[in-house]
Amino acid sequence: MHKIGLALGGGGARGLAHISVLEVLDELDIKPSVIAGTSMGAIIGAFYASGMSGKDIKKLVRRHIISKDDRLRDVIDKRAHILEWTSAFAPAHARGGIIKADKFYNRLFGEISKTTFEELEIPLIVIATDYWTAEEVVFKTGELLPAVKASAAIPVVFTPVSIGGRILVDGGVVNIVPYEHILDLCDVTIAVDVSGTPTAHKHEVPSLIQSALGTIRIMQTANLAAKMKILQPDIFVHPDIHNVKLLDFNKVEDVFHQAEPAMEELRAKIAKLKAG
């Protein structure tokens, strides 16, 4: 089989669809030779690169998120985990965001034993954005957690992250699906765009947060479309996820369900690749 490179994009709660992609790769006994990730793609990519399977990551997510499909018994069983994780979020007293998520990320990455890029089982590339220079910042070595925190520092929501004297925010600001970083490192590139399908509410005035995040999403979509005209991955996966906003993590089962048709397409494309 060819050397497979995997690029996982940003999308908040919609990024949980990356887990379905990983489960398909596991099912087909395909292990990527390199992973590039932005924002939620960086988080999911870090877990997978550390050695967790797609199924393991899905179990972790389900254990810590109350889904709208959960029964009362499920909620009660999850209570200790939920309280532990929600207490890890704190209002930001510093400038730049509503939430400071340091404790959350410390707990999250406590689930894996790897602390540096060099320890990962699969090479990982993480994308962040320098707020003041508007430059893409690429992490491949050194401490894992600060890089992932910076990559997922959604503007307005999470406080920016300072690394090496640079103020960093979400990598999706400049590169929502960073597949160009792995084109020369593999034979076949799979790029996953989880930006979703916007739901039209033409007469609804968005809230302040919705307006800010929605405007960023519009710019990201335009940037990706422009890049795709010039440079395309071998396999492009775009799950048709709708009615799931950036922070709708309670809709995790909706995300998995809506991602399934795209997973069938992915299986077909990989089968064609193997046959060809």
User: Which residues are known catalytic residues?
Assistant: 39, 170
Q: 């990551």: which residue's tokens?
A: 57
Query: Where does the chain have alpha helices with state H?
Result: 17-27, 40-49, 54-64, 72-86, 102-108, 144-151, 208-230, 252-275
- Between strands 124-130 and 34-38, the pairing is parallel
Report d(CA 128, CA 121) in Å as an integer. Answer: 22
Of 134, 122, 225, residue with least CA distance to 171:
134
H-run or E-run covering 35 = strand 34-38
Report d(CA 221, CA 214) in Å as an integer. Answer: 11
Neighbours of 193 (CB within 10 A): 26
Residues 64, 236, 154, 142, CA torsion sign: positive
Report d(CA 154, CA 183) in Å as an integer. Answer: 26
Yes or no: say if 131 and 167 are a contact pair by the CB < 8 Å rule. Answer: yes
Report d(CA 168, CA 78) in Å as an integer. Answer: 34
Q: Residue 193: what are its φ and ψ, rounded to 5°?
A: -105, 115
